[in-house]
Structure formats: C-alpha cells, structure tokens
Amino acid sequence: MTRFANSNSNSSSNSNGAWTLVLGLGIVMSISFGFTLNAFGIFTLPIIEMFQCSHEQAARIATVFMVSMTLAMPAAGWLLDHVAPRPVMATGGLVTGLAYLAAAHSADLASFTAAIALCGAGVGASTYVPSFILVSHWFSPRRQGLAFGILLAVVAAGGTVLPIGLNRMVEVLGLRVAMQAGAVTILAVCVPLLLG
C-alpha cells in the first residue's frame, strides 16, 4: 500500500482532504467528459461541415472514442496494480489534452478520428478506474456510498452544464477554436488537479 502513501487509508474518510479529493476527481471527470463524450452530439454537424463527410462518418468518431476509452480502462487497471494512481491519471489527462489539441488542428477526417481515438484512451486512463480506486482507498466502506454518490453527482452536473457552454462556443467561434479552448482547459485544470 505504499503507492497510496499520501492517503491515510480509510481513517481519512471524515477529513477535508478526502472530500476535496472527491470534488477534484469530479471536476476532472466533468471536464474530461464534458469536452469529449458529452460533446459528440454538438460536434456532429460542425464535423460534417468542416470535413465534408457523411453523417455516418461523423457519427463513427464517437464510436471510435468509446472503443478506445473502453479498451484503455483494463490497461489502466493493470497499471494501477503496479504503480500509484497519480502518474497514471496525470499521464491520461496529458494525453487527453494533447490529443484534443491535435484533433482541433487536424487537416482531414482520418487524422481527426485518430486524435479522438487517442483522446479516448487518455480519458479511459484518467477517469473512472483510478478515481474509484482512490475513493475506495480514502473512505471506509460505510462512507463509500456517499462518496461515490457525490463524485458521480459532480460528474453528471458538470457533464450537463459544460456542453451548453461548449455549444455556444462552437456557434460563435467555430469547432476548431472551441476544441482548442477545451484542450487548454484540460491541460490547465485537469492535469494540475491530477498531479496535486
């Protein structure tokens, strides 16, 4: 259990640090999902317009993201059996932000799709699996239900509100600029929170 040296195991369940952890993880997951998974409905028409592709091709991008994210989760779980959560999560957050930035600068649909696939892998490595491991470690079993409930409520709230603002950004600034702003947000907020 040396990989969790910064936590005080289940004795921390009443400390401010444990609840701050839940809030921080919720913010990271809200931003990560808000700019990616929850945004594909907003992005479909701008992608069609930008790359002159079909609805099917544009819809396939969300599928590629989901497959990539899903495949990254067992890999992240395996890594977490061998190393501490912080480097796994921070690396995943960094990959997410940089891949999202690469997607914003993609010249064609193939490179955009590849960048979104890499983004999905980053999200898979930096969200659910390590977050659940950390919360399970910081909270005693009798407090885990509340901790998980608050974590997922923060994620749901952020994932609901953030796409509204993102939709407005796409309308006003265009898809590429909105995605660049999303990448900067991921790199400036999520990565430092995951390293903290």
Mean pLDDT computed over 69-78: 96
CA 149/CA 51 separation, integer angstroms: 40
Residue with tokens 């919720």: 26
Q: What is the average pLDDT value for the chain, to the nearest integer?
A: 91
Give residue 159's pLDDT band: very low, low, confident or very high (50, 70, 90): confident
Cα(141)–Cα(163) distance, integer angstroms: 34
Q: Contact, 87 vs 56, CB < 8 A?
A: no
For the segment 154-171, the average pLDDT, to the nearest whole number, is: 92
Region class of 52: left (phi > 0), else alpha (psi between -120 and 50), else beta:
left
